Amino acid sequence: DERLSEAVFLLKAGQVSSVVETADGIYIVKVIERTEAHAPEYKDAATKVKERIVFEKSSEEAKKKADELLKKVKDGADLTALAKAEKLNVEETGFFRKADGFIPKIGAQPSEKLFDMKADSPNYPELISRNNRLYILKFKTSEEAAETGLVSKKEALKEALLMKKQDDALKNWITDLKAKAKIEVFAENL
SS3 letters across 74-91: HCCCCHHHHHHHCCCCCC
Question: Distance of CA 121 to CAs 15, 60, 127, Å?
Answer: 56, 28, 16
pLDDT band at 64 (very low <50, low <70, confident <90, very high): very high
Instruction: Look at residue 60 in the predicted model and tell me its pLDDT.
Output: 93
The predicted structure's pLDDT at residue 149: 65
Nearest residue to 184 via CA among 4, 14, 3, 18: 18
What share of the chain has pLDDT > 90, as a percent?
15
Checking if the pLDDT of 95 tops 90, the result is no
Q: Is the predicted pLDDT of residue 57 greater than 90, yes or no?
A: yes
Average pLDDT value for residue range 30-37: 85
pLDDT over 80 at 32, yes or no: yes
pLDDT at 22: 78
Kindly indicate the confidence band of residue 56, based on its pLDDT and cuts at 50, 70 and 90.
Answer: very high
> What is the pLDDT at residue 68?
93
Q: How much is the pLDDT for 40? A: 83
Q: Which of 41, 20, 43, 23 is nearest to 31 (CA)?
A: 20
Question: 94 or 58, which is more confident?
Answer: 58
